[in-house]
Structure 1
Amino acid sequence: MTAVVPPPRTATGLRALQQLDRVEEGERLHALLWRAGAGWRMISSAVLGGGIGERAWVLNAQVSHGYRRTDPERHLADLAREAGAHGPGVGLMTAADVTGHGRADDGGAEAVATAGLGVRGWAASPAGGTPVPDRPGTINIVVALPVPLTDAALVNAVATATEAKVQALLDAGYDCSGTPTDAVCVAVRVARPGEDVHSFAGPRSLWGARLARAVHGAVRTAAMP
């Protein structure tokens, strides 16, 4: 019997974002929701749903510049539930207006970025660190690949996305590596029986290169004045 190799999956659907609108304390705020559905593994530094695991949605929510809530994880979970997102997901937040997001794709890799650059600087700074997050300015990056990756490659993909972010900021004319609260989420497919699982996602690997170009394009668009 000849083994049947499943055909490659060439689309992620990340660019089919739903824009959500709400009013909090008299301020109109927005959010972007990607209903990924089943069959996705994600790695993220997000406050909600961070780490590595199967996730069904990603919410990128705008909050006020004077955000003072001490329960951001619960806040994001409530927003997702109110929007009808079910199951485990990833929740990010930013003070940037997410309606001004950037999008890009390259060979099946798709990226969406929002850029709040009011509080920015270089990662290697002499300033002392703090035990709690800084004010929400934040560059949030969500990138999706239509293929499965190993855990090690997922970590590699986060590094590649971060390198591409810094390159995009420099190309957009900013003298910085990001903000103190930047977050990233990389989504990949859950492997199907007989499907190859990619072991590399560095910038010169097949999917790492595509991811890097997609992230660069999305961040540069979002960061442009």
Structure 2
Amino acid sequence: MPTAVPPTRSASGPLLVQRATRVEDGEGLHALLWRAGTGWRMISSAVLGGGIGERAWVLNAQVSHGYRRTDPERHLARLAREAGAHGPGVGLMTAADVSEYGRGHDGGVDAVATAGLGVRGWAASPDRGAAVPAGPGTVNIVVALPVALTDAALVNAVATATEAKVQALLDAGHDCSGTPTDAVCVAARAVRPGEEAHAFAGPRSLWGARLARAVHAAVLTAAPAA
């Protein structure tokens, strides 16, 4: 059963994360839980709750470096329930110590990042690739915007967040674009009556620029200097 710690509050952002600690196979492991609540649409490449849809929480759970379970979706769902999360949500996992996370905030956009860079490299690699998932390592990014985005803008936001991640890793002195298991989750408000969703989230759009700066700051804080 995880032991919860009160949320770490950001003075101006919506992404309030709660830290939890658990013991698995004699190892102390941490997790970050954001209880977003209702009224959020998320896009994610996560193991649990990936794709686009309404989601009520995001869990970023640390697992052991030798993680070999074949049911990560079920494992993450159980951890979320034990942490008190209810309804549909997003579950990410990493071998990094998520208690050492970074934050970024810009103009209403809030970002949290964790960075495990033990296995890193460039996306365009001559390696053949594998049909099975790589082991946990992972730069995980969660970012929340206080406005609604169209589906196309949500996809655009993932690209913008990824560009900002790579920029931060280079600024930290790392000769890489990330790890083989990086994941991202972008949360935007659901459309309210009388409002329109923003159609763009590229790095030079109003909200995309804010997202990029928030993600850059979060990853730069989380990533150990080379």
Does TM, normalized by the shorter one, top 0.5? yes
Amino acid at match of 2:167: Q
1:27 is the counterpart of 2:30:
no
CA distances 1:143-194 after superposition (whole Å, capped 9, x unpaired): 0000000000000000000000000000000000000000000000000011
**Structure 1 unmatched ranges of 5 or more:** 1-10
Give the whole-Å Cα distance in 1 for the aligned partners of 2:128 and 2:214: 33
**Structure 2 unmatched ranges of 5 or more:** 1-11
- The aligned residue for residue 109 of structure 1 is 109
Give the whole-Å Cα distance in 2 for the aligned partners of 1:13 and 1:20: 19
- The aligned residue for residue 58 of structure 1 is 58
Give the whole-Å Cα distance in 1 for the aligned partners of 2:56 and 2:98: 20
What are the equivalent positions in structure 2 for 1:118-133 lying under 5 Å apart?
Answer: 118-133=118-133
CA distances 1:46-74 after superposition (whole Å, capped 9, x unpaired): 00000000000000000000000010000
SS in 2 for 1:99: coil
In the TM superposition, residue 132 of structure 1 has moved relative to its aligned partner by 1.4
- The aligned residue for residue 47 of structure 1 is 47
- The aligned residue for residue 194 of structure 1 is 194
What are the equivalent positions in structure 2 for 1:153-192 lying under 5 Å apart?
Answer: 153-192=153-192
| Equivalenced residues, count | 214
In the TM superposition, residue 12 of structure 1 has moved relative to its aligned partner by 5.0
Give the whole-Å Cα distance in 2 for the aligned partners of 1:135 and 1:83: 24
Give the whole-Å Cα distance in 2 for the aligned partners of 1:132 and 1:183: 16
SS in 1 for 2:99: helix
In the TM superposition, residue 196 of structure 1 has moved relative to its aligned partner by 2.5
Give the whole-Å Cα distance in 2 for the aligned partners of 1:80 and 1:132: 25
- The aligned residue for residue 96 of structure 2 is 96
1:214 is the counterpart of 2:188:
no
Q: Is the 2:114–2:140 Cα contact (8 Å) retained in structure 1? A: yes
Amino acid at match of 2:211: L
Give the whole-Å Cα distance in 2 for the aligned partners of 1:102 and 1:224: 11
SS in 2 for 1:203: coil
Amino acid at match of 1:20: A
- The aligned residue for residue 14 of structure 2 is 13
Give the whole-Å Cα distance in 2 for the aligned partners of 1:144 and 1:132: 30
The runs of at least 4 aligned residues of structure 1 exceeding 4 Å deviation read none
Give the whole-Å Cα distance in 1 for the aligned partners of 2:203 and 2:99: 29
Alignment RMSD (CA, Å)? 0.7
Give the whole-Å Cα distance in 1 for the aligned partners of 2:144 and 2:80: 20
Q: Is the 2:13–2:105 Cα contact (8 Å) retained in structure 1? A: no
In the TM superposition, residue 83 of structure 1 has moved relative to its aligned partner by 0.9
Amino acid at match of 1:96: A
In the TM superposition, residue 195 of structure 1 has moved relative to its aligned partner by 1.1
- The aligned residue for residue 5 of structure 1 is none
Give the whole-Å Cα distance in 2 for the aligned partners of 1:75 and 1:131: 21
Amino acid at match of 1:93: M
Give the whole-Å Cα distance in 2 for the aligned partners of 1:198 and 1:89: 23
In the TM superposition, residue 224 of structure 1 has moved relative to its aligned partner by 2.6
